[in-house]
């Protein structure tokens, strides 16, 4: 799906652009991730988060698993991959299917164009169309509030590792989907076939 952005479009609160810049317009294509995108995706994630990304609590829900079908997205500018976002099947407590959003990364020189917001909106629309009912994430609450994410949906949920409670957020795609949600969040995605335990980077590339 193609999108056109202006350099004066609203940007995420944690991204900035230089004042007084001349307005320009650029077209991007948001599409399904392809096997040939792996190297560029991993380089972008390294640039955005560094090697400590493999130590995050969310990674415990992703490692060794595949992302949700149709919900691994990239954005390209011509042939260059400039953004990535994936969503993962999880359980928000026992027997309550949901999705985990992340990681989301936008190339440093594309962070003033509203591209991150477009990736989220596209991902949530696709998730709803596939009848997913709820999404969890760990991220900046003021930024994600614009999409409807709120910490009140996760108050009784526990991640597999320490997280700042104010950054642990949920969104109901279907009203009441997280009502009464409690207990441990666990991974639910299909396991990646492997005969031996792979290193974190290998698992990320295979997912």
Name the average pLDDT for the chain.
Answer: 84
Q: For residue 85, is it within any domain?
A: yes
Burial 103-135 (b: 16+ CB within 10 A, else e): bbbbbeebbbbbbbbbbbebbbebbeeeebbbb
Domain containing residue 37: CATH number: 3.40.630.30
Number of domains in the chain: 1
Residue with the bigger pLDDT between 5 and 142: it is 142
Q: Is 199 inside any structural domain?
A: no
> Within a domain: residue 153?
yes
Q: Which is higher by pLDDT, 194 or 61?
A: 61
Domain for residue 107, yes or no? yes
pLDDT in tens, 150-204: 999 999 999 999 999 999 999 999 999 999 999 999 999 899 975 333 444 443 4
Beta carbons within 8 Å of 89's beta carbon, 6+ residues apart: 65, 68, 97, 99, 100, 187, 188, 189, 190
What's the pTM? 0.82
Structural domain for 148, as ranges: 26-189
Residue 10 domain-assigned? no
Backbone phi, psi, residue 46, to 5°: -60, -45
CA distances from 35 to 74, 126, 151 (A): 11, 20, 34
The answer as to whether 206 is a domain residue is no
**Is 12 among the domain residues?**
no
Nearest one of 51, 126, 37, 128 to 83, comparing CA atoms = 37
Query: What DSSP character marks residue 85?
Result: E
Q: What is the pLDDT of residues 3-32, one digit of tens each?
A: 444 343 433 322 222 223 333 456 889 999
Residues 6+ apart with CB under 8 A from 51: none
């Amino acid at each position: 799906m193609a999108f056109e952005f202006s350099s004066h479009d609203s940007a995420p609160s944690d991204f900035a652009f230089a004042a007084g810049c001349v307005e320009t317009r650029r077209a991007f294509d948001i599409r399904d991730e392809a096997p040939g995108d792996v190297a560029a995706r991993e380089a972008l994630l390294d640039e955005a988060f560094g090697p400590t990304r493999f130590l995050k609590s969310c990674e415990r829900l992703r490692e060794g698993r595949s992302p949700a079908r149709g919900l691994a997205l990239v954005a390209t500018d011509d042939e260059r991959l400039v953004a990535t976002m994936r969503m993962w099947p999880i359980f928000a407590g026992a027997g309550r299917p949901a999705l985990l959003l992340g990681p989301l990364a936008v190339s440093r020189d594309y962070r003033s164009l509203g591209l991150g917001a477009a990736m989220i909106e596209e991902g949530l629309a696709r998730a709803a169309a596939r009848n997913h009912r709820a999404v969890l994430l760990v991220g900046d609450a003021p930024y994600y509030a614009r999409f409807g994410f709120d910490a009140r949906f996760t108050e009784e949920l526990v991640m597999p590792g320490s997280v700042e409670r104010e950054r642990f957020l949920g969104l109901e795609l279907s009203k009441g989907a997280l009502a009464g949600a409690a207990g441990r969040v666990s991974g639910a995605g299909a396991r990646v076939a492997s005969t031996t335990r792979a290193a974190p980077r290998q698992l990320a590339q295979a997912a």
